[in-house]
């Protein structure tokens, strides 16, 4: 069974029905990046505020960086 309902997947597991929660799958595939980690990121455009820029991780996660305007369009570690 494939579902995005947490309660339904828990009930299925209690009844010994193989169940995969789509949210669990997405969480398992998410890169392990936390605040403070250093990574190479391409800043591709300005952010919502004038002091922000936006970059994307390979899985399309949006990263907003404060005060990087000089680096928009370049690579910054």
Cβ atoms within 10 A of the Cβ of 24, count? Answer: 13
For residues 19 and 3, is the Cβ–Cβ distance under 8 A? yes
**Overall size of the chain counted in residues:** 77
Q: Mind listing the pLDDT tens digit for each residue in 4-28?
A: 888 998 899 899 999 888 988 888 8
* pTM confidence score: 0.49
Tens of pLDDT, residue by residue over 15-71, are 999 988 898 888 888 777 777 888 788 888 888 888 888 888 877 888 888 887 666
Rounded CA separation 3/18 (Å): 11
Our CA dihedral for 28, 21, 4, 35, rounded to 10 degrees, sits at -20
Under the banding of pLDDT at 50, 70 and 90, the label for residue 77 is: very low
Give the per-residue pLDDT at 59: 75
């Amino acid at each position: 069974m494939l579902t995005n309902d947490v309660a339904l997947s828990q009930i299925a597991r209690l009844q010994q029905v193989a169940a995969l929660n789509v949210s669990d799958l997405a969480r398992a595939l998410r890169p392990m990046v936390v605040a403070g980690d250093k990574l190479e990121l391409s800043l591709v455009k300005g952010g919502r505020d004038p002091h922000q820029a936006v970059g994307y991780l390979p899985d399309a996660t949006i990263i907003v960086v404060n005060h990087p305007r000089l680096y928009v369009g370049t690579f910054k570690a």
